[in-house]
């Protein structure tokens, strides 16, 4: 995240952490250069639009502990990080609940132009009531309605980015002073339940047109949305069996939505603590544990799940009723388990190393071997690697684990410059024909004529 703290809450207080430098552009340029040179596929920015305020019914624990707060705007950082990277792609989180589809399509397309196609969009529906109150609402739009809005949001973005400009619309004819052919630029005239957009898109077609679509909703509704639209899906599970079950469910849902098995890449969260020996890695893990903050971790859980752990006794169980927060967040302690966890179990799990990702502690060799085993056992395609200590973790991973992954044939094959979509799927820069966004290309053609102003 474009801030101090994320996922492993409190890790910014580790003696070696420099996360407080997040306001310094050099900090980000150092990160992008490192990841680009090491051959990572992409740098992913998570983002939220409000403060976590469920735990202790207060914003104080999140503000004190830097729980996804304060946060700068990752779009600004990415435009700077494009300047010192050649291969690395960037995946940006943007909310269909609070953004405008017309304005967001423009910002994404601009980044796609200037990066030559190295952009992905993590489509989120958001879950913080404070985010709703920051955007003119009294309370959150209900959970499933947020997904309804997300469906319409994507329909508008597809029409803008896939349909409104023909491939050959830009003629750049200096002799006749024609830049674009008006017959090949179309309005979209969308009038729906949530949005009204005339179009055309302000931007001419970029390399990928629609950026690569990422998604992570794990509720029943979220899974259906991912199966329909997402090209890359973040999938987690409380253990490997649950992760394998989730990937199987997603692949089946994608097939039911008419998509081929190769149309979706599944990525799971991973953290590592690397040592030259097992005991050195364990010592480092203990140092990270000491840096993590229970209060901040409970604040993060409260904000995401909607459940305030300060309101329960240790042997209570969380209610299984669905909330308007992230439904997947609580489910991993309740409905996903054979026997639900008690509040004491949940608290202790939240104090594990990076409770939101599986964590591997050991030597480079054991970590590379375990990564291969996870892929084999769970059918994931890749990893979203978290950092505990910045700088440090990515440097060590690049130096010691990446060469082993390369030697074992586990790296993404594409190492030449190209779009993110081509790197991930190898079928070119644009959405493939089976994707619902591709259907927007075939919509009815209209002239980009402006209605005459009428004076009554
Ligand atoms: C790896 C990962 C990253 C996520 N990043 C974000 C994020 O940046 N912002 C956000 O609002 N939600 C984020 N989420 C949450 C989901 O995208 C989703 O919006 C949330 O879980 C609510 O949907 P659900 O009830 O369908 O799970 C992330 C989830 C995962 C697993």
For ligand 1, which residues put their CB under 6 angstroms from it?
A: 46-48, 93, 122, 124-127, 216-219, 221-222, 234, 236, 269, 326-328, 384
Q: Is residue 433 part of a domain?
A: no
Nearest residue (CA) to ligand 1, atom 18? 217
pLDDT per position as a tens digit, 249-271: 999 999 999 999 889 999 999 99
Q: Is residue 345 part of a domain?
A: yes
Nearest residue (CA) to ligand 1, atom 17? 216
Question: Residue 401: how many CA atoms within 13 Å on its side-chain side?
Answer: 27
Nearest to 141 by CA among 100, 191, 150: 150
- Mapped onto helix, strand or coil, the DSSP state of residue 388 is coil
Nearest to 130 by CA among 98, 92, 93: 98
Q: Give the pLDDT of residue 417.
A: 60
Q: Give the pLDDT of residue 449.
A: 45
Q: Is residue 450 part of a domain?
A: no
For ligand 1, what atom is nearest to the CA of residue 46?
8
Nearest residue (CA) to ligand 1, atom 28? 216
User: Domain of 348: which CATH number?
Assistant: 3.20.20.30
Q: Give the pLDDT of residue 322.
A: 86
Nearest residue (CA) to ligand 1, atom 1? 234
Q: Is residue 312 part of a domain?
A: yes
Q: Is residue 39 part of a domain?
A: yes
Reported as type and span, the H/E element at residue 268 is strand 265-274
Tell me, in angstroms, the distance from the centre of ligand 1 to residue 273's CA: 24
Q: Is residue 448 part of a domain?
A: no
Q: Is residue 434 part of a domain?
A: no
Distance separating alpha carbons of residues 334 and 444, to the nearest angstrom: 48
What count of other Cβ atoms lies within 10 Å of the Cβ of residue 434? 12
Q: Which residues span the domain enclosing 24?
A: 11-161+198-425
Q: Model-level pTM greater than 0.85?
A: yes
Q: Give the pLDDT of residue 414.
A: 55
Q: Is residue 176 part of a domain?
A: no
Tell me, in angstroms, the distance from the centre of ligand 1 to residue 89's CA: 20
Distance separating alpha carbons of residues 100 and 197, to the nearest angstrom: 10
Our count of domains for the chain comes to 1
Contacts 24+ apart (CB under 8 A), 425-428: 425/231, 425/262, 425/263, 425/265
> pLDDT tens, position by position, for the chain (456 residues)?
999 988 889 999 999 999 999 999 999 999 999 999 999 999 999 999 999 999 999 999 999 999 999 999 999 999 999 999 999 999 999 999 999 999 999 999 999 999 999 999 999 999 899 999 999 999 999 999 999 999 999 999 999 999 999 999 999 999 999 999 999 999 999 999 999 999 999 999 999 999 999 999 778 899 999 999 999 999 988 789 989 999 999 999 999 999 998 899 999 999 999 999 999 999 999 999 999 999 999 999 999 899 999 999 999 998 888 888 878 788 888 887 888 889 999 999 888 887 767 899 999 999 999 999 999 999 999 999 999 999 999 999 999 999 999 999 998 765 566 899 999 999 999 999 989 999 998 664 444 444 444 333
């Amino acid at each position: 995240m474009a801030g101090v703290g994320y996922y492993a809450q409190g890790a910014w207080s580790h003696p070696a952490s420099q996360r407080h430098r997040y306001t310094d552009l050099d900090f980000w340029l150092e990160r992008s250069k490192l990841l680009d040179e090491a051959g990572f596929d992409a740098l992913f920015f998570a983002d939220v639009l409000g403060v976590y305020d469920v735990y202790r019914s207060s914003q104080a624990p999140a503000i004190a502990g830097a729980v996804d707060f304060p946060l700068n705007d990752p779009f600004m950082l990415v435009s700077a990080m494009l300047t010192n990277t050649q291969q690395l792609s960037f995946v940006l989180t943007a909310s269909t609940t609070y953004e405008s589809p017309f304005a967001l399509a423009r910002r994404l397309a601009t980044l796609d132009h200037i990066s030559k196609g190295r952009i992905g969009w993590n489509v989120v529906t958001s879950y913080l009531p404070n985010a709703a109150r920051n955007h003119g609402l009294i309370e959150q739009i209900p959970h499933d309605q947020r997904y309804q809005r997300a469906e319409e949001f994507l329909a508008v973005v597809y029409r803008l980015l896939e349909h409104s400009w023909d491939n050959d619309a830009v003629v750049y004819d200096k002799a006749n002073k024609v830049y674009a052919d008006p017959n090949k630029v179309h309005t979209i005239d969308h009038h729906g339940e949530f949005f009204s957009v005339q179009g055309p898109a302000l931007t001419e077609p970029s390399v990928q047109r629609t950026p690569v679509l990422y998604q992570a909703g794990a509720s029943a509704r979220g899974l259906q949305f991912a199966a329909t639209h997402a090209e890359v899906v973040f999938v987690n599970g409380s253990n490997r069996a649950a992760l394998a079950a989730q990937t199987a469910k997603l692949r089946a849902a994608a097939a039911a939505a008419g998509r081929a098995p190769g149309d979706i890449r599944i990525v799971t969260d991973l953290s590592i603590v690397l040592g030259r020996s097992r005991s050195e890695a364990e010592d480092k893990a203990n140092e990270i544990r000491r840096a993590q903050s229970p209060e901040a971790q409970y604040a993060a859980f409260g904000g995401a799940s909607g459940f305030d752990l300060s309101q329960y006794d240790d042997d209570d169980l969380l209610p299984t009723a669905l909330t308007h927060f992230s439904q997947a967040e609580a489910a991993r302690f309740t409905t996903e388990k054979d026997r639900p966890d008690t509040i004491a179990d949940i608290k202790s799990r939240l104090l594990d190393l990076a409770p939101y990702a599986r964590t591997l502690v050991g030597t480079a060799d054991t970590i590379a071997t375990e990564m291969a085993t996870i892929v084999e056992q769970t059918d994931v395609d890749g990893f979203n690697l978290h950092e505990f200590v910045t700088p440090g973790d990515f440097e060590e991973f690049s130096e010691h684990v990446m060469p082993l992954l390369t030697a074992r044939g586990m790296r993404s094959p594409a190492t030449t410059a190209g779009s993110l979509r081509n790197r991930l799927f190898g079928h070119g820069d644009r959405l493939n024909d089976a994707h619902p966004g591709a259907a927007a290309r075939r919509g009815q053609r209209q002239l980009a004529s402006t209605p005459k102003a009428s004076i009554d």
